[in-house]
Amino acid sequence: MTTNERERDFTHLFSETVQETMNNAGYGSWRSISDPAAVSLSFGFPFPESFPNDELVASAEAVFEAEGDVALQYTGGEYASGLSGVVADRARDRGIDCEDDEVILTNGSTHAIDVVSQTFLDPGDLVVTEAPTFMGALSLFRNYGVDIEGVEMDADGLDVDALAADLEARESEGRPLPKLLYTIPTFHNPTGVTLAEDRRKRLLELAAEYEFVVLEDDAYGELRYEGADVPSLAALDDTGLVVRVSTFSKTIAPGIRTGWIVADEELAEEMRRINAGGTNTFTQGVVGRYCEAGLLEENVVDLRESYSERCAHMLACLDEYMPAGADWSDPDGGFFVWVELPEGVDAEEMLPEAVEEGVVYLPGHLFYPDDRGHDCLRISFSHVPLDEMERGIEALAAATRTATSVESTADD
């Protein structure tokens, strides 16, 4: 039964946070503007052929065969309990000093960010993010009633000098200092850029000096197509202030909803205690078996090859079709390209024209905690086939040209 049929307004029953966030435009406007005929470059969905269906079926069968009904019990079986060890081993391979009990398995990395938020955040606390940042994290932080401040980025990631200046000003003016800084340092969503190593070190110095938690979201770190690896923040950290979250969503499939937190033992203990409701132990068993059979490493090699081709194709199409005055990022990995439109063009206002031309994207302002990013947009090369991608970029270029000419006529 709908609210209208009951003629009842539930608003006063909602929590203050829900009342404050329910009309937030973050997830609204762009949803209504789409068209089945338009190429969707909006979302970071993996392409369906990348899903290892047969291998997951075989892993599930092997789990049932080895563990029987235990696999479906609350606790899960040995493959499920072995998955923390697999994650810890892989973290150690990447230079992260981590014991098996410093890994907490979660139902994906968004859930992991939620557990970290529950552990550290009170209403009114300050959270610093990159500006722009992953909009899923922004809406999640808003659920905690915190203040969010976005620090600018450039082609080398978060502007740590701007962060340092902000922290210094806050301290000297007696304004609140951050409790937590959320960052996606490697193949950032939405810009695709990677935080330079010297900036990583500086960020950790600032965290130690001002004592805030650094929440490192490394959803895309394994999907590098160009250049040399940069050590993760967790690998560079010797303060224990870095809490790292990651996921199998991009390296196996998002529907398995399996991710993890790596945190210092003392923090991990509280997070484990606070994480109510349990996690998906059956899937953890299947993933555990999949990893132990060496299939994850093989899949990551294949994924790097196919996403690398997709990324190169998107960049080539942008070079070929986009008009002068537009600029875009040059990612070495991940799923996204960030486009800056010619001066005066607003990505949200341009969307209906883009749909008409045959493409959908996400307007940049959705990725900001404040009113910035109107001249930017995010496109993803992870989902659509190469020929559709090309049509999508041609349509984006056509819409940009129209919007630019409207803008310059308005200026005349």
Ligand X SMILES: Cc1ncc(COP(=O)(O)O)c(C=O)c1O
The reply on whether position 129 binds ligand X by CB under 6 A is: no
Which is closer to ligand X, CB of 282 or CB of 398?
Answer: 282
Residue 29 near residue 365 (C-beta atoms within 8 A): no
Candidates 150, 259, 363, 364: give the one binding ligand X (CB under 6 A).
259
Q: Minimal distance in Å, beta carbon 56 to ligand X?
A: 16
Q: Of 42, 59, 247, 281, which lies in the binding site for ligand X, with binding defined by CB under 6 A?
A: 247
Q: Closer CB to ligand X, residue 85 or residue 254?
A: 254
Q: Is 379 in the site for ligand X (CB under 6 A)?
A: no
Interface of this chain with ligand X, residues 37 to 56, rule: CB under 6 A: 44
| Candidate ranges 104-112, 234-242, 339-347, 399-407; the one touching ligand X (CB under 6 A) | 104-112
Q: Which is nearer to ligand X, 102 or 218 (CB)?
A: 218
105 interacts with ligand X by CB under 6 A = no
Residues 139-168 as b or e (16 or more Cβ within 10 Å = b): ebbbbbbbebbbbebeeebbbbeebbebbe
* Number of residues this chain uses to bind ligand X (CB under 6 A): 14
**What minimum distance in Å lies between the beta carbon of 185 and ligand X?**
10
Q: Segment contacting ligand X (CB under 6 A): 21-29, 207-215, 247-255, 390-398?
A: 247-255
> Which one of 108-116, 281-289, 298-306, 341-349 is the stretch in contact with ligand X (CB under 6 A)?
108-116
Q: Which stretch binds ligand X (CB under 6 A): 49-57, 107-115, 160-168, 385-393?
A: 107-115
Q: Considering only residues 128, 184, 207, 253, which one is a binding residue for ligand X as defined by CB under 6 A?
A: 184
Q: Cβ closer to ligand X: 283 or 404? A: 283
Sheet holding 242-247, edge to edge: 103-106, 259-262, 242-247, 213-217, 180-183, 126-131, 147-154, 157-158
User: Per CB under 6 A, does 139 bind ligand X?
Assistant: no
Q: Do the beta carbons of residue 395 and residue 354 sit within 8 Å?
A: yes
Residues within window 185-204 making contact with ligand X, judged by CB under 6 A:
189
Q: Does 221 bind ligand X (CB under 6 A)?
A: no
- Paired tokens of 389: 């991608």
| Bridge partners, residue 380, by sequence | 336
Buried b (16+ CB within 10 A) or exposed e, 347-384: bbebbebbbebbbbbbbbbbbbbeeebbbbbbbbbbbb
Output 212 or 260, the one with its CB closest to ligand X: 260
157 contacts ligand X (rule: CB under 6 A):
no
Cβ 10 to ligand X shortest distance, Å: 28
Determine if 331 is a binding residue for ligand X (CB under 6 A): no
Binding map of ligand X across residues 338-357, x = CB under 6 A, - = no contact: --------------------
How far, in Å, CA of 108 to CA of 338, rounded?
25
Structure tokens at 365: 């302002």
Question: Residues 109, 119, 380, 382: which binds ligand X (CB under 6 A)?
Answer: 109
Binding residues for ligand X, rule: CB under 6 A, are 44, 108-110, 134, 136, 184, 189, 217, 219, 247, 249, 254, 259
